[in-house]
Amino acid sequence: MANREKNKKTLLELAKLSQNCCCADCGAADPDWASCTLGIFVCLNCSGTHRNLPSVSRIKSIRLDFWDDELVQFMKANGNRAAKNFYEKFVPVFYYQPQPYDCEVLREQWIRAKYERMEFTEKNRQRPYTAGVYEGMLWKKGKDNGQFLERKFVLSVHDFTLKYYKEDESKGPKATISVKDLNATFQPEKIGHAYGLQITYCVDHHTRNLFVYHKNGQEIVNWFNAIRAIRHVYLKTAFPTASDGDLIPWITRNYLKEGYMEKTGPLQREPFKKRWFILDSLNRKLLYFKTQLDAIELGVVFIGSENHGYSVRECVPKGTRGNKWKCGVIVETPDRQFVFMCEQERDQREWVEALKTVISKPMMPQDYTTEANIRRRR
């Protein structure tokens, strides 16, 4: 008969080993759950997806559930490293592997891709997002009326473009977007849909947004990884000597910080206006929009390094008009001082911390070009 306390102690010791101390699927620390059929240790969030795969995975708590001796021996014989070597053996370098903070659909489809569809166990397996051309229907938010309408999208590696069409495809694409500056990031809360994706690109050095979703989780993640695949090919073409390790952060990226702040004009006597801000740390841009679902930016502030005269601090501005919020943030640049107001002290601290993160990093050669382009716009 199984010794309950002995088996619990063994499982807890196994979970502390370096190969098991992080979730097998998202990397979260100190997993408290395990799949006794796959032999892996997972976190609470990922365990929920495993519960929806009863034919593949059986989840048990390593602290609360009863474990037979045979199951404990199975966990000993396997573990996260062995599972990774088998189920993730041929993951494409561009394929996005979720982190603990990522949205549910990314975690779910990563888990399903590994264990249910077994997409990465064979070297030459055909995957739709690696075909070079990916097309299908997405629901896109209209720029004026805000309604989401079904539109055909075509992503092609042949000319490095993303195109979308209105109802009559014979009239050609409504827009042709270069993948040169394309970014995609999941935004379920902002878009109001669990499978919502924000696609960002540049036109004449101005940032534009597309907000789309699909009703199927696997399909929207396929779109996301198809975009990452073509971005990877583009970057390898544009920077042939760069390693994959150098290019991966540039394929797509999440934004360091987003949220509403109030903004005044250059004289600091203009009324404050509420704006939605996005801090793109990789490109050192602080973008602002009228609302969080606006298609076109109203402006951008370049965030350089401390060595080049940039700084940020908390403040309580005096002599300003129209501001409803009282928690100030001042950004100093070589050209001018920017004053922003946050609703709460927590927001103020988070914005200052995020901006300091960017300012503390040295500028790269391409950053000087970005800075010059933004200055020319003024």
Domain assignment present for residue 89? The answer is yes
In a domain, 13, yes or no: yes
Secondary structure E strands in 223-354: 257-263, 273-280, 285-289, 299-302, 311-315, 327-332, 337-342
The pair of three-digit structure tokens given for residue 140, joined into one six-digit string: 């896109």
Query: Considering the domain boundaries, does residue 165 fall inside one?
Result: yes
- Residue 88's domain is classified under what CATH number? 1.10.220.150
Same domain, 245 and 267: no
Residue 293: phi and psi, rounded to 5, are: -115, 25
- 74-120: per-residue pLDDT in tens? 999 999 999 999 999 999 999 999 999 999 999 999 999 999 999 99
For the four alpha carbons of 114, 120, 121 and 125, in that order, the dihedral sign comes to positive
Mean pLDDT of the chain: 93
Domain identity same for 243 and 263? no
**Is residue 154 in a domain?**
yes
Task: Tell me: do 85 and 139 sit in the same domain.
Answer: no
Find the mean pLDDT for residues 225-232: 97
Q: How do residues 327-344 score in pLDDT, each as one tens digit? A: 999 999 998 999 999 999
Domain count, the chain: 3
At 150, which helix (H) or strand (E)?
A: strand 148-156
Q: Specify the CATH number for the domain of residue 201.
A: 2.30.29.30
Does residue 319 carry a pLDDT above 60? no
The answer to whether the predicted template modeling score (pTM) of the entire model surpasses 0.75 is yes
Look at residues 199, 176, 182 and name the one whose alpha carbon lies nearest to residue 238.
182
Residues 225-262 as b or e (16 or more Cβ within 10 Å = b): bbbbbbbbbbbeeeeeeeeeeebbebbbbebbbbebbb
Q: Which of 204, 223, 250 is the last residue before a domain boundary?
A: 250
| 28 and 88 co-located in one domain | yes
Same domain, residue pair 105 and 133: no
Residue 1 pLDDT grade (very low, low, confident, very high; cuts 50, 70, 90)? very low
- Domain final residue, candidates 250, 284, 318: 250
Is residue 243 located within the same domain as residue 296? no
DSSP character at residue 362:
P
Q: Is the pLDDT score of 37 beyond 90?
A: yes
Residue type, 244: D
What is the C-alpha separation between 180 and 231, in angstroms, rounded?
Answer: 8
3 and 47 within one domain:
yes
Does 325 fall in a domain? yes
The mean pLDDT value for 149-168 works out to 93
104-118, 125-139, 189-203: lowest mean pLDDT where? 125-139
Task: Give DSSP secondary structure letters for 197-253.
Answer: EEEEEEETTEEEEEEEE-S-HHHHHHHHHHHHHHHHHHHHHH-TTS-HHHHHHHHS-
Report the C-alpha gap between 12 and 21 in whole angstroms: 10
Domain boundary among 62, 89, 116: 116
Domain co-membership, 81 together with 183: no
Task: State the average pLDDT over residues 23-40.
Answer: 97
- Give 236-279 pLDDT, tens digit per residue: 999 999 999 999 999 999 999 999 999 988 777 778 899 999 99
Q: What does the angle CA 101 – CA 106 – CA 108 come to, to the nearest 5 degrees?
A: 110
Claim to verify: residue 95 and residue 148 sit in the same structural domain: no
In tens, the pLDDT along 199-228 reads 999 998 899 999 999 999 999 999 999 999
Residue 194 lies in a domain: yes
Rounded CA separation 177/96 (Å): 22
Contact 213, 138 (CB under 8 A): yes
Q: Are 246 and 286 contained in the same domain?
A: no
Domain coverage including residue 209? 128-250
Q: How confident is the model at residue 144 (pLDDT cuts 50, 70, 90)?
A: confident
In a domain, 122, yes or no: no
**Is the residue at 48 inside a domain?**
yes
pLDDT band at 318 (very low <50, low <70, confident <90, very high): low
> Based on the domain organization, do 18 and 45 belong to the same domain?
yes
Shared-domain flag, residues 226 and 269: no
On the question of pLDDT at 191 being above 50, the answer is yes
